[in-house]
Amino acid sequence: MIILQCVLTYVFMERHWQLVTTRLSTALTQDIAAIVELHRSYPGRANDDILARIAQDRLKIDMEFLPKGELPPALPKPFFSIVDGALSNEIKRQIGKPFWLDTVGRSSFIEIRIKLEDSILRIVALRNAAYASNSHIFLLWMIGTSFVLIVAAIAFLRNQIKPILSLAGAAEAFGKGRDLDFRPRGAREVRQAGYAFIEMKRRIERAFEQRTAMLNGVSHDLRTILTRFKFSLALISKTDETLDLQKDVLEMQHMLEAYLAFARGDAGESTAKVDMEEFLEDLRLDAERAGCDVQISFSGDPIVAVRPNAFKRCLANLISNAQNHGKRIWIEAVRDLRFLTIHIDDDGPGIPVDRREDVFKPFVRLDEARNQDEGGTGLGLAIALDVARSHGGDISLSDSKAGGLRATVRVPV
C-alpha cells in the first residue's frame, strides 16, 4: 500500500502537477509577452497607462515601467519549486530578454522584471496564475485516506493475528505439558488449523492414556508374579541359595519399577505451582539422610509451574547420580522472567566430554563412568532428560568448579 501511494504521488507530481503548472506558466508568459509587444508597438506614457489598466482589469496583473537600469541580483533558486523552473523556461522561450524572477519573496504573489530597450517592465501577478495551488488538497486527501486505510489494515491484521498467536500459545503450553483452554477463532483457515491442533492433541493424549493403561496392566501382572516368588522364597528354609534368590527378586523388582517409570514418563500428571525453594529443601534432606553433604542457593521468584512428581524424579535422579560419585553436592537455582535454571555440582571424577551425550541414552553404561552404579538400570539420567524435555526444557552436562560434573536443568516458566 505504501509503495502504491508513493507511485501515485510520483505520477501526480510528475504528470498532473507539473503539467498544470507548465500550462499556467505558459499562459501567464503569453500575457506578459503581449504586454511587451504592445509597449514596443505603441510607445508613450498614455498608452502605457491604458495598457496597465487593461492588464489590471482583464488579466489581474499589476504592471509598471521602471526607469532604465540594471536588474536586481539573481535570487537563490528554491530547492523544490516547479513554478520557478516553468516560468524561467517560458520567459526565455517566448520573450527572450534578460529578466529577474522572485517566486518565494511573497507567498501569494510572483514578481517578474524584464529588461526592455527603454525601461524595465515590473509585473506582479497572483501566484495561482502560474501555479496549481489547489494540488496540495489532493496530497492531503491522499495522505489522509492512506492513514485511515493503514489504521484499518493494522486493526484487521491484529484481529487476524490474535487467533494465530492464541494457537501458538496453546501449542507451546501443550509442549510444556500444560493444559490451556483453547477455542479456534478467526479466519476459516486459522480455525481449520486450530481444529487440527485440537484433534492432534486428543490423539496424543489418547495414545498416552492407552500406553499408561497397558503399562499398568503389565506392571500388575509382573508384580503378581514377583510377589509369588517372594512368598515362595519366604516359605523355604533360609539358605545361601535362597538369600541369593531373594536378592535377585528384589533387583528384578527395582529394575521393573525403573523400566515402567521410564516407559510411563509423566503421562497423566497435571501441572501445579510449587515453591521451588521448599521443593529443593526436601531433596536436600533426602540426600543428607543418605549421608551426603548438600548446599542449596536460590534466587528469584520461587513459585514455578511444573509436574511435581515428575520434576522431583528428574532432580532426584541427578542428585542421586552426583551422590554416588561425589562426597559433596552444590545446588544453585536461578529463576528469571523466562527460565528456571538449576545447576547441580559435585566433586566426583566427572565424565569425559566425548561421552556426556551417551549417558542420557537408555540402558547405556560407560566402562569407567560415574553412572555405573551397582544394581542400577542405566535409566536414571534418561528419565531425567525425558522429564526435562516434557517440560519444554533440557539438561546439559559440563565441568564443575568443584572438579566434578555439573548437570544443568533449564525449563521455561
d(CA 39, CA 115): 13
Which is more confidently placed, 124 or 372?
A: 124
Query: In terms of DSSP bridges, do strands 293-299 and 328-335 run parallel, antiparallel, or are they unpaired?
Result: parallel
Q: What is the pLDDT of residues 308-331, one digit of tens each?
A: 888 998 999 999 889 888 889 999
The mean-pLDDT minimum among 167-176, 270-279, 387-396 falls in: 167-176
All CATH 3.30.450 domain ranges in the chain, comma separated:
2-133
Q: What is the pLDDT of residue 275?
A: 93
In sequence order, the 6+-apart residues with CB closer than 8 A to the CB of 135 are: 12, 16, 17, 20
- Select from 1.25.40, 3.40.50, 3.30.450, 3.90.1530 the CATH code of 2-133: 3.30.450
CATH number given to 272-412: 3.30.565.10
Query: Lowest-pLDDT range, 62-71, 91-100, 138-147?
Result: 138-147
First to last CA, the chain: 40
> What's the pLDDT at 2?
66
Q: How many CA atoms, within 13 angstroms, populate the side-chain half-sphere of residue 147? A: 6
For residue 142, give Cα distances in angstroms to 1, 11, 16, 151, 205: 12, 13, 14, 14, 55
pLDDT number for residue 124: 92
Average pLDDT value for residue range 136-152:
79
pLDDT over 70 percentage in the chain: 86
Average pLDDT of 224-230? 81
Residues of the chain with CATH 1.10.287: 203-264
Which pLDDT band, with edges at 50, 70 and 90, does 230 fall under? Answer: confident
State residue 374's pLDDT score.
Answer: 46
SS3 of residue 362 by DSSP: coil
How far apart are alpha carbons 406 and 218 in whole angstroms?
Answer: 36
- Alpha-carbon torsion (210, 216, 220, 223), positive or negative: positive
Model confidence at 256: pLDDT above 90: no
Query: What distance in Å separates the CA atoms of residue 272 and residue 87, rounded to the nearest whole number?
Result: 80
Say if residues 164 and 53 touch (Cβ distance below 8 Å).
no
CB-CB contact of 71 with 102 (8 Å): no
pLDDT top residue among 228 and 16: 228
Numbered ranges of CATH 3.30.565.10 in the chain: 272-412
Structure confidence by residue, pLDDT tens digits, 268-278: 677 889 999 99
pLDDT confidence tier of residue 172, bands split at 50, 70 and 90: confident
Beta-carbon contacts of 139 under 8 Å, excluding residues fewer than 6 positions away, are: 9, 12
Q: What DSSP designation does 359 have? A: G
Res. 5 pLDDT band, cuts 50 70 90: low
Q: What mean pLDDT is predicted for residues 35-42?
A: 90
**pLDDT category of residue 372 using cuts at 50, 70 and 90:** very low
Which pLDDT score is estimated for 114?
93
Residue 81 to residue 285: CA distance in whole angstroms: 84
Q: Is the confidence at residue 8, as pLDDT, over 90?
A: no
Q: What is the mean predicted confidence (pLDDT) over 264-287?
A: 82
Please state the pTM of the whole predicted model. Answer: 0.52
The CATH code belonging to domain 203-264 is 1.10.287
Does pLDDT of 265 surpass 70? no
> What is the overall mean pLDDT for the chain?
83
> What pLDDT was estimated at residue 115?
92
Let me know: does 45 contact 64? Beta carbons within 8 Å: no
pLDDT of residue 343: 95
82-119: pLDDT as tens digits: 778 888 889 999 999 999 998 877 777 889 999 998 89
